[in-house]
Chain A
Amino acid sequence: MSVKMKINNVSKIFGPKPKSAIPLVEQGKSKDDILAETGNTVGVYNANLDIEEGELFVIMGLSGSGKSTLIRCLNLLNKPTTGAIEVDGEDVVKFKGEKLKHYRQKKIAMVFQHFGLFSHRTVLGNVEYGLEIRGVPTEERRKVARENLESVGLKGWEDKYPDELSGGMQQRVGLARALANDPDILLMDEPFSALDPLIRREMQLELLDLQERLQKTIIFITHDINEAFKIGDRVAVMKDGKVVQTGTPESILEEPANDYISEFIKDIDRSKIIQAENVMIKPNAVVSLKDGLNVAVREMEANGLSSVFVTDRSRKLQGIVTIDDAIQGIKEKRSLEDVMVKQVESVTKEAYLEEIIPKAVETKYPIAVVNDEERLEGIILRVHVLSSLISEDG
Chain B
Amino acid sequence: MQDFPDISIPLGDGADFIVNFLDDNLGPFFDFIFWLTSSTISTFDDFLNFLPWWLILIVIFVIGLYFQNWKSGLLFSTFIFLVGSFGFWEELMITVAIVITAVVICIFIGIPIGIIMALYKPFSVFMRPILDAMQTMPSFIYLIPVIFFFALGNVPAVFATIIYAVPPVIRLTELAIRNVDQEVVESAESFGSSRKQILFKVQLPQAIPTIMAGINQTTMMALAMVVIASMVGAGGLGEQVLIAINRLDIALGFEAGISIVFLAIIIDRVTSGIGDKFQRNKGDH
Contact surface of A with B, Cβ cutoff 8 Å:
75, 77, 100-106, 108-110, 112-121, 129-130, 132-134, 159, 161, 163-164, 181
Contacts and interface: CB of A to CB of B under 8 A. Distances in A.
A120 B187 contact: no
B194 A101 contact: yes
Contacts of B193: 133
A116 B189 CA distance: 11
A119 B282 contact: yes
A159 B197 contact: no
Interface size class of B (residues with CB under 8 A): 20 to 34
A101 B194 CA distance: 8
Contacts of B188: 118, 129
Interface of B: 181, 183-184, 186-194, 197, 201-202, 205-206, 208, 282-283, 285
A77 B186 contact: yes
B283 A161 contact: yes
A113 to B, nearest CB: 8
A277 B63 CA distance: 71
Given A119-B282, A133-B197, A164-B283, A110 B187 contact: yes
Given A133-B201, A161-B282, A116 B191 contact: no
18 contacts: A101-B192, A102-B192, A104-B189, A105-B192, A106-B192, A109-B191, A114-B183, A115-B183, A116-B181, A116-B187, A117-B184, A119-B206, A119-B282, A121-B205, A133-B193, A161-B282, A163-B282, A163-B283
Contacts of A77: 186, 189-190
Contact of A118 (B184, B186, B189, B192): B184
Contacts of B208: 120
Contacts of B194: 101, 133
A159 B192 contact: no
Contact of A103 (B192, B202, B285): B192
A120 B282 contact: yes
A134 B186 CA distance: 17
A121 B183 CA distance: 16
B184 A116 contact: yes
A355 B202 CA distance: 46
